[in-house]
């Protein structure tokens, strides 16, 4: 019982003499009234039939439970060191703290992911045209100003192509806006297929598109515009 539960269990008679103990050398030889620690509460426990007491033992505080056994006319004493009594509480506390730490970490990670995801969505909504997936006009204007400043510093050519879809209003009026939206998506797909990484393509508004071509001469930009016009007509 001591090995499993870390408790000392023994019997004393009404005078305090130990009558049964795991250490046989104490039986009928030692009185708890003279034992350091328990001697401070011996009179109290011997004067009542049952209860709980605490005393300072050699290795720290000890919790003591006692009960009178009429059949034996002895007192049953159960001693447990404070460290053993509090061990399950400490273990539970440690487990709870660990679980709380894990839950807190998960909440922080989920919150961070949610905030980043929401921020990315807001940023995309603010910069990208929802229908075509191209940059919107506001974003293009900011990038355009930056490109002009860069071209002036580097003294490199900068070209711009602005175009719209012929008869687009007729498409919407006769075939419906869903077909018109599909036409806009198709044109956006065509003009993004062969672009360079440095090119900036945006939906200017309605059926109008704009392409910014850094480092591209006017002649080359004209060739690109003719090529896109043919591709758009084929699609």
* Strand order from edge to edge, sheet including 208-214: 158-164, 208-214, 200-205
CA neighbor of 85 nearest in space, from 45, 54, 58: 54
Q: How far apart are the first and last CA of the chain?
A: 88
Strand intervals (E) in the chain: 8-13, 18-20, 50-57, 60-69, 74-81, 158-164, 200-205, 208-214
Q: Dihedral through CA 209, CA 212, CA 216, CA 218, nearest 10?
A: 50
CB 26 within 8 A of CB 18: yes
d(CA 85, CA 82): 5
CB 61 within 8 A of CB 79: no
- 133 Ramachandran zone, left/alpha/beta (phi>0; psi -120 to 50): left
Q: Is 207 a catalytic residue?
A: yes
Q: Which residue out of 28, 39, 207, 219 is catalytically annotated?
A: 207
Pair type for strands 50-57 and 60-69: antiparallel
The catalytic residue positions are 207
């Amino acid at each position: 019982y001591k090995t499993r539960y870390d408790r000392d269990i023994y019997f004393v008679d009404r005078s305090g003499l130990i009558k049964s103990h795991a250490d046989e050398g104490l039986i009928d030889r030692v009185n708890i009234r003279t034992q350091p620690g328990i001697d401070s509460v011996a009179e109290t426990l011997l004067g009542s039939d049952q209860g709980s007491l605490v005393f300072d033992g050699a290795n720290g505080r000890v919790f003591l439970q006692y009960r009178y056994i009429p059949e034996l006319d002895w007192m049953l004493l159960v001693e447990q060191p404070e460290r053993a009594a509090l061990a399950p509480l400490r273990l539970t506390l440690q487990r709870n703290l660990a679980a709380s730490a894990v839950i807190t970490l998960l909440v922080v990670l989920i919150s961070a992911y949610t905030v980043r995801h929401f921020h990315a969505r807001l940023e995309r909504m603010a910069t990208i045209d929802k229908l075509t997936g191209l940059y919107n006009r506001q974003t293009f204007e900011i990038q355009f100003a930056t490109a002009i400043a860069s071209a002036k510093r580097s003294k490199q050519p900068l070209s711009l192509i602005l175009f719209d879809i012929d008869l687009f209003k007729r498409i919407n009026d006769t075939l419906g806006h869903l077909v018109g939206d599909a036409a806009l998506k198709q044109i956006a797909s065509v003009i993004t297929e062969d672009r360079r990484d440095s090119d900036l393509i945006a939906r200017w508004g309605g059926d109008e598109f704009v392409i910014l071509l850094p480092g591209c001469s006017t002649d080359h930009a004209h060739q690109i515009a003719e090529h896109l016009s043919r591709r758009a007509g084929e699609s």
